[in-house]
Amino acid sequence: MAAFGSRYETDARLAGVLSHFYVISVPENASPGEQHLSPNLEMMVVFNFGPPVSFSFADAAIGGHAIDRIGILGPLRKMMNYALPPGADLLILPFILDGFYRFLPLSPDKLEETGVQAHTQRLEDIWQMLAALPEPGKRIAALTDYLLLHIPQSEAATQPMLDNVAALHDPLLNPVKVIADRYGLSERTVQLRFRKYVGYSPKELLRFLRFKQVLSSLPGQPKAKINWLELVVQYGYHDQSHLIKDFKYYTGISPQQFQQLHEAGNFCVGRD
């Protein structure tokens, strides 16, 4: 992914909607390659202007699913595996918090195929607009203008979460307690708002953030030098089996198998 992918920062006015834009462009003469993306609780929309891209999750073989023109993925609770064919041309929108549900007026508890189908024409119109443009910079500029024009403001009830993004991404803090104390809300109210507006619980978020920190500590380290017991202590796991359990939950593979993927250079750890 790193060889063919480029990250583009968003307009500051979209700071609460998207984390960034990501473009993947594979030359026609490139060899097909298998890539792996770390889990992420947020929603992603993929616009594909090249050949279909096959994908799977966890330890499943690639080929069971494919993105033809438009793909909606998430919350990405498992490692995603995908094959980049020659000529692949993708524009990826990683939404944050309630950004996706402002883009498509759906609620997290009704995110199913029938709900998304109601917005098929809108997504197709966006794809047509972007496909007519010659290069990523122009596509991103046009999409930015579209999003600024069409995405509504967050509901007032989500503001405490939006105002405390730092707390949401700090595994040493309890975001429910932080938000409840700052805004005079009950912890139960905060928990319910998480479920309603972002589709996952604070407990799930904290578990994921701890695992993401473990992943972020591994890049560049040869397998022989990783002290797994040290990671257990550093990130507050009960024991090594607890850490292995999270690896298998999020990726479908063991820590050692994951490290082999990473050393091969085809694993991407998502960035905030």
pLDDT in tens, 117-174: 878 899 999 999 999 998 999 999 999 999 999 998 888 887 777 677 666 666 677 8
Among candidate residues 124, 118, 111, 104, the one with its CA nearest the CA of residue 76: 111
Q: Identify the residue with better confidence: 239 or 225.
A: 239
Per the model's pLDDT, the better-predicted residue between 110 and 125 turns out to be 125
Give the residue carrying structure tokens 């020659």.
Answer: 86
What percentage of the chain exceeds 90 in pLDDT?
Answer: 35
Residue 154 and residue 102 in contact, taking contact as beta carbons nearer than 8 Å: yes
Both tokens of residue 205? 């978020």
CA distance 150 to 145: 9
User: What is the model's pLDDT at position 2?
Assistant: 44
pLDDT above 70: residue 20:
yes
pLDDT tens-digit series, residues 29-51:
888 778 888 888 889 999 999 99
Alpha helices in 165-270 (DSSP H): 165-168, 175-183, 187-198, 202-216, 228-234, 240-251, 255-263
